[in-house]
Amino acid sequence: MSIALQEISDSGLVVAIARYREDALAEAYRRHAGAVFALARRVLADLTTAEEVVQEVFLRLWNQPDKFDPDRGSLRSYLLAQTHGRSVDLLRSDTSRRRREEREARRTAEAGYDLEHEVWDLTVADKVKEAVAVLPVAERRAIELAYFGGHTYREVATLLGEPEGTVKSRIRAGLQRMRSALKSSELSDTGDVAWN
Amino acid sequence: MELKHHEIEELLGVYALDAVSAEEADLVETHIRECPRCRAEVAAHREVAASLAHVGSTAPPGVWSRIAGNLEEAPPQLDMARVVSMRGRSPRRSVPLRAAAAMVAIAAAVIALLGVQVSQLNGKTDQLDVALRRQGLDQAAQSALFDESARKVDLRSEDGATFAKAVLRDNGEAYLVGNNLPKLPDDQTYQLWAVVGNRTVSIGVLGPEPGVSPFKVAGAGVSALAVTAEQSGGVVVSAKTPVVRGLLPVV
């Protein structure tokens, strides 16, 4: 009995990957590498490093498929959490941070670049945009700076001139608010929806 | 530093966005291992964060070929199988199992090393289709047990009180019937090992409550089987005394 890989769920793909099915990894790559790459590029603002992160994330899935626990979320959110974590690690290393800041400063000077504005424009799903729109500005800005800017909440607090506790609360409340909005639009399970 | 539950809760959102210090991340990770509610909240936050990613983007050209070029090589000389479960893929390399050293010695004396492939076809913890397949597995194992040409192995504990049965058909199909193995705590798992020549190789992680576990053995090089109780996810090298073990009949 053989089922086309294109027809099986993400969780099924990971089972096949755990059995050393390279074609299953290729299918997971086809479904999610675009989002992985986009997030890494967005956080790192560096094409080459973002590609390296993509490579790392999928090799890690190949080498340690057991790290993915379907009970704890979709494959997509797992891969993106891996991507974000690795990107932030790189970003927080001195060299990468300096390069990124120089690049951002140059772009800002050259084209009036607005990182946060670009970030939200790139968010493609309309229902996600709607969910983002329900956020109060203060929550949205805190999430933007933390998630896409790769800042710690302490850095976000400094940037926004807010107490650290307030930033923590806003980020948590904002994520919960978005979750509710996405649920109500039946988009809360992004994992197995997005690749179809 | 130790934080109270409500202090950890306040960190869950920023933790999910990797916006905490390394020390705070450690605290949260330690906490959510034990707290399902907080673990679920982190998972929910990460789903939301994932929804923010640019779903329409395409993968960069050339990266896949670099990934494919870096995938692990196929299993070495013995061509030992990939042994996997959703909880922990066993290593491909064959490893010494100290506890089974005596069995190794016997096996090495008797068995010539032939090309052997051992592959576990179904991870015990495959959460997708185990339930659906369970009935079919039982029937398949029963059918194998009635196959006169199949090799049957009784695996027993030293005191004989605990036992399991394995059956290996000529076509490579094999089953471990482990219904009588006592249930382990959830953070432990049974692990199946094969002795091949002078090596002991992990066949698979069976979970804490194994029923019928299928695997595949092609070739005649397997001389013995053993089952150990390990920490969840399995181990590379076991230092445990096998819960049960048994020698295969010589072909």
> Given a cut of 60, is residue B21 above it in pLDDT?
yes
Residues A126 and A85 in one domain: no
Amino acid identity of residue B206, one-letter, is: L
Residues A63 and A37 in one domain: yes
Chain B residue at shortest CA distance from A178: B48
> Given a cut of 60, is residue B95 above it in pLDDT?
no
> Given a cut of 70, is residue B251 above it in pLDDT?
no
Cα Rg of chain B (Å, integer)? 22
Chains A and B: how many Cβ contacts under 8 Å? 204
> Given a cut of 70, is residue B118 above it in pLDDT?
no
Residues A123 and A105 in one domain: no
Distance CA A191, CA A35 (A): 11
pLDDT at residue B4, as a whole number = 86
pLDDT at residue B3, as a whole number = 80
User: Given A93, A113, A133, which residue is the final one in a domain?
Assistant: A113
pLDDT band of B97, cuts 50, 70, 90: very low
CATH code of residue A21: 1.10.1740.10
For B213, residues 6+ apart whose C-beta sits below 8 A from its C-beta are B120, B122, B124, B175, B176, B178, B192, B204, B206
Distance CA A77, CA A191 (A): 7
In DSSP notation, B15-78 reads HHTT-S-HHHHHHHHHHHHH-HHHHHHHHHHHHHHHHTS-TT--PPTTHHHHHHHTSPPPP-TT
| Domains in chain B: ranges and CATH | 1-71 (1.10.10.1320), 98-247 (no CATH)
- Which range, of A96-105, B28-37, B130-139, B202-211, averages the lowest pLDDT? B130-139
Residues A81 and A139 in one domain: no
Residues A22 and A74 in one domain: yes
User: Given A87, A113, A139, which residue is the final one in a domain?
Assistant: A113
CB B181 within 8 A of CB B244: yes
Residues A109 and A161 in one domain: no
CB B18 within 8 A of CB A84: yes
Q: Distance, in angstroms, between A114 CA and closest chain B CA? A: 17
Q: Is the Cβ of B49 closer than 8 Å to some Cβ of chain A?
A: yes
Q: What is the mean pLDDT of chain B?
A: 73
Residues A21 and A63 in one domain: yes
Closest CA to A23 of B67, B89, B85: B67
Count of alpha carbons within 13 angstroms of residue B198, beta-carbon side = 3
Tokens 């090393």 — which residue? B113
| pLDDT tens track, chain A, 196 positions | 345 777 788 888 898 888 888 889 999 999 999 999 989 988 898 889 999 999 999 999 998 898 898 878 899 999 999 999 999 999 888 555 666 666 565 544 444 334 344 444 444 467 777 788 888 999 999 999 999 889 999 999 999 999 999 999 999 999 999 999 888 875 444 443 332 2
Residues A48 and A101 in one domain: yes
Q: Is the Cβ of B93 closer than 8 Å to some Cβ of chain A?
A: no
Chain A residue at shortest CA distance from B48: A179
Name the helix (H) or strand (E) containing B213: strand B212-218
> Given a cut of 80, is residue B65 above it in pLDDT?
yes
pLDDT at residue B98, as a whole number = 35
Q: Distance, in angstroms, between B191 CA and closest chain A CA? A: 15
Burial label for A23, CB within 10 Å (0-12, 13-18, 19+), is: exposed
Residues A7 and A96 in one domain: yes
Residues A11 and A103 in one domain: yes
CATH code of residue A182: 1.10.10.10
Tokens encoding B182: 């006592």
**Per this entry, what is the length of chain A?**
196
User: Is residue A47 helix, strand or coil?
Assistant: helix
Q: Is the Cβ of B65 closer than 8 Å to some Cβ of chain A?
A: no
User: Given A59, A79, A113, which residue is the final one in a domain?
Assistant: A113
User: DSSP label at B4?
Assistant: -
Cα Rg of chain A (Å, integer)? 18
Encode pLDDT of B230-248 as tens digits: 888 788 778 888 999 988 8
Overall number of domains in chain A? 2
pLDDT band of B56, cuts 50, 70, 90: low
Q: What is the mean pLDDT of residues B109-113?
A: 32
pLDDT band of B82, cuts 50, 70, 90: very low
User: Own/partner pairs for B181-187, CB < 8 Å, 24+ apart?
Assistant: B181/B209, B181/B210, B181/B227, B181/B243, B181/B244, B183/B208, B183/B209, B184/B208, B184/B209, B184/B229, B186/B232, B187/B231, B187/B232
Closest in A64, A168, A176 to B10, CB measured: A168
User: DSSP label at B101?
Assistant: H
User: Is residue B93 helix, strand or coil?
Assistant: coil
Look at phi and psi of residue B155 and say left if phi exceeds 0, alpha if psi is from -120 to 50, else beta.
beta
Contacts of A35 in chain B (CB under 8 A): 50, 53-55, 57
CB B165 within 8 A of CB B155: yes
For B188, residues 6+ apart whose C-beta sits below 8 A from its C-beta are B208, B229, B230, B231, B232
Q: In what order do the strands lie in the sheet with B173-177?
A: B117-119, B212-218, B173-177, B163-168, B151-156, B244-247, B222-231, B188-196, B199-207
Chain B residue at shortest CA distance from A20: B82
**Chain A neighbours among B 118-157 (CB < 8 Å)?**
119, 123, 126-128
Residues A105 and A18 in one domain: yes
- Which range, of A14-23, B35-44, B56-65, B222-231, averages the lowest pLDDT? B56-65
Which structural domain range is residue A152 located in? Answer: 114-196
CA angle B90, B96, B100 (to 5 degrees): 105
CB B30 within 8 A of CB A57: no
Give the residues across from B225 on adjacent strands: B194, B246
Other CB atoms within 10 Å distance of the CB of residue B161: 10
Torsion of CA B208, B227, B127, A59, to 10 degrees: 120
Residues A108 and A118 in one domain: no
